[in-house]
Amino acid sequence: MLSKKQARFFFFGGTILVFIIFLGMTWDSIANRIPEQTHADALTPEVVAGKRLWDKNNCMGCHTIFGEGAYYAPELTKVIERRGEPYIKSVLTSPVPWAPNGRKMVAYGFSNEEAENLIAYFRWIGNVDLNGFPAKPDIEK
Amino acid sequence: MKYKSQKVAYWFFVACMVLLVLQITYGFIMAFAHLGYDGLHAITPFNTARAVHTNLLVVWLLCGFMGAAYYIIPEESKRELYSIKLAYIQLISFLLVGVIAIAGYHVNWWEGRKFLEIPRPLDYLVVINVLAFLFNILMTLWKAKERTTTAMVLTMGLVFAALLYLPGMIWFDSQTLDSFFRWWVVHLWVEGVWELIMGGILAYLLIKITGVDREVIEKWLYVIIGLTFISGILGTGHHYYYIGTPNYWLIVGGIFSALEPLAFLGMALFAITMYMRSGRNHPNKLALYWTMGCAITAFVGAGLLGAAHTLPQVNLYTHGTLVTAMHGHMAFWGAYAMLIFAVISYAMPLMTGRKIYNNMTGLLAFWFSNIGMIGMTLSLGVAGVAQVYLERKLGLSFMQVQKEIEVHFFVMIIAATLFSTGITLYLINFFRYGKPKDEAILSETEFESLQSQGA
Ligand code: HEM
Ligand code: HEM
Ligand SMILES: [Fe+2]
């Protein structure tokens, strides 16, 4: 029968082993793979400014990006592809809450430059290789 | 209660109860908004309500863990807490930071990083606060003659939780890296180190309630937390499928996260077998209900409902839909909210000397809140599956689908009302106990005699 000492060894030994593998995979991801897969060289000052606006206004509190966030408003990973830039710009600069379907978005009234930055951010996001997400709808209507 | 200083736990529990009520209030705001009634949009837009709802959840759970530690550690180490004053200072400052953060969310002061919305300057205050808490706990253990496995596992969980807060404070320019390390906090908390806290507290409660030999309970505790880390650490990969990370995470994350339910199954079997082995009949029925309920509901909410969407083939379609919210509710409820309810139910009679532990109010609180939570989970689940089919499989637009599934939020609000009724009954019992008293120290001997009579 298993003793307490063996159980303790199972816990510490297993944890240390798995943690080392995890750190190794993390290192490989960050150092060798993610820069290429996300086009890190395309992180221009505009993209970064867009990301800061995304954070500062907690857009993720309603929307998802890369499938992460809230479930109140549309997923925005491929929004440039879906809507085109002029549409997005008018949403972002609108002085009244944007609500084409009754559900309101906060009226941020971004400046032209801020809207451009957010669009640059969305364009960067849209180009990241996401291993096939979001999937193409595969049932015929 | 054996040591006077255990009384500080009470005020942590009071804070839990108050914050929980606020959390639920903001939950209703969001559910109504989903239903189309967003009358509060101008003052509390959805993203404010959401940040408040989830952050209050985390704050009250942490408050509960701290309270539980302040109750359990002195007793396990057979001495008074290192500093009662520090505990009170720490509670008040913790709440202050929380209140500032919540207020900030109403005036657009936050960071748009799900669950980690607290602005960076406040993060530093959280760190100082948690250091003060850990100092108090570690000093108590340091000065103790006895350091039990249960106390050490609980403390290990708390220390690791504090350490894992740090990766969430790094700035990144890349959304992918930001997300990558956000999961070191969120995932490695709930599917890693918090399970140590859960295991430690459950072990303590089972030792007390069932009277089974400590050595047996602590041996299985090691096995369970071993399973937790072996599956949960590499299981982080289930959040690295679709965020711009290499595709080997699909295999590693898929396999290891599919093993995560084993740890929760372990907790459930642990509680059930220890209960069956127990020769006694502990008089605190409500503590027994919440303890068993916690272990079982955690297995269903975290283990089964987590496994339901953890394989990459499934997650490709369910990722970022209401299916996730369905699982999030029952998992947090079962594993962590019910755990704190169990500790409170166990500790209150011992801190106050009053025996409100086997009454109708308390039983109804248990059943109403749990049946309500099952109803909420079902309505979110139905809405989520419908969303996945209509939006992800058929390609309807997001808002078209939202109109179709609106009705499920009506059902959710009804279930949430039942849930809130249960919580209200729990609060009534809680406040009927009144404040803890030093004279209550005697009553544990009385309890022990009660326990042996039941054998
Ligand atoms: C008590 C333990 C658990 C809690 C409190 C919990 C809670 C949550 C929460 C709140 C989320 C949403 C996170 C976010 O999007 O930021 C989430 C996501 C997820 N959880 Fe859990 N969980 C637990 C255990 C598990 C387990 C054991 C599994 C797997 C077997 C699992 C599988 C998942 C998956 C696959 C997602 C991602 C969903 C998506 O792609 O949108 N969870 N969990
Ligand atoms: C009356 C009770 C409640 C109601 C009406 C409610 C409603 C909601 C709603 C509408 C959301 C937002 C989903 C979205 O982004 O669209 C949400 C999120 C969340 N709630 Fe609740 N909630 C309630 C109680 C609770 C309780 C008791 C817990 C935990 C024990 C909890 C944990 C969460 C979590 C973890 C999330 C984030 C889920 C995710 O991002 O996947 N809620 N809640
Ligand atoms: Fe996870």
What confidence score (pLDDT) does residue B365 get? 98
Q: Which residue of A has its CA nearest to B110?
A: A56
Instruction: Give a yes or no: residue A14 inside a domain.
Output: yes
Task: Name chain A contacts of B173, Cβ cutoff 8 Å.
Answer: 43, 47-48, 51
What confidence score (pLDDT) does residue B455 get? 38
Ligand 1 atom at minimum distance from B263 CA: 27
Residues A65 and A82 grouped into a single domain: yes
Residues A89 and A49 grouped into a single domain: yes
Q: Which residue of A has its CA nearest to B52?
A: A61
Nearest-CA distance A84 → chain B (Å) = 15
Instruction: Give a yes or no: residue A29 inside a domain.
Output: yes
Residues A31 and A50 grouped into a single domain: no
Residues A11 and A70 grouped into a single domain: no
Half-sphere exposure of A50 (CA within 13 A, CB side): 22
Task: Name chain B contacts of A59, Cβ cutoff 8 Å.
Answer: 47, 112
Whether A46 contacts chain B with CB within 8 A: no
Check: CB of residue B349 under 8 Å from CB of residue B312.
no
CATH code of the domain containing A48: 1.10.760.10
User: Which candidate in B113, B150, B176 is best for mutational testing of the A interface (most A CBs within 10 A)?
Assistant: B176
Positions of chain A with pLDDT under 50 = none
How far away, in angstroms, is B140 Cα from ligand 3 center? 33
Whether A41 contacts chain B with CB within 8 A: no
Closest by CA to B365, choosing from B17, B30, B26, B72, is B17
| Boundaries of domain holding A97 | 42-132
Cα angle: B146, vertex B150, B156; to 5 degrees: 100
Instruction: Give a yes or no: residue A54 inside a domain.
Output: yes
Instruction: Give a yes or no: residue A141 inside a domain.
Output: no
Residues A121 and A77 grouped into a single domain: yes
**B416 CB-contact burial (10 Å; exposed 0-12 / middle 13-18 / buried 19+):** buried
Residues A58 and A108 grouped into a single domain: yes
Angstrom distances, CA of residue B242 to CA of A77, B119, B315, B454: 11, 26, 9, 55
The predicted model scores a pTM of 0.97
Residues A69 and A121 grouped into a single domain: yes
Q: What is the mean pLDDT of each run of 10 residues along chain B (455 residues)?
A: 94 98 98 96 97 98 98 97 98 97 97 96 96 98 96 98 97 97 98 98 96 95 98 98 98 98 98 90 94 98 98 98 98 98 97 93 98 98 98 96 98 98 98 93 68 48
Angstrom distances, CA of residue B313 to CA of A64, B85, B191, B326: 20, 53, 21, 19
Ligand 2 atom at minimum distance from B409 CA: 10
Half-sphere exposure of B169 (CA within 13 A, CB side): 13
Residues A31 and A63 grouped into a single domain: no
Residues A33 and A50 grouped into a single domain: no
Instruction: Give a yes or no: residue A140 inside a domain.
Output: no
Atom 32 of ligand 1 has which residue's CA nearest to it?
Answer: B306
Nearest-CA distance A29 → chain B (Å) = 6
Instruction: Give a yes or no: residue A123 inside a domain.
Output: yes
Residues A34 and A46 grouped into a single domain: no
Check: CB of residue B363 under 8 Å from CB of residue B385.
no
Residues A29 and A73 grouped into a single domain: no
Total domains in the fold of chain A: 2
Instruction: Give a yes or no: residue A138 inside a domain.
Output: no
What confidence score (pLDDT) does residue B454 get? 44
Q: Is the Cβ pair A66, B234 closer than 8 Å?
A: no
Residues A50 and A19 grouped into a single domain: no
Phi and psi of A64, rounded to 5°? -110, 155
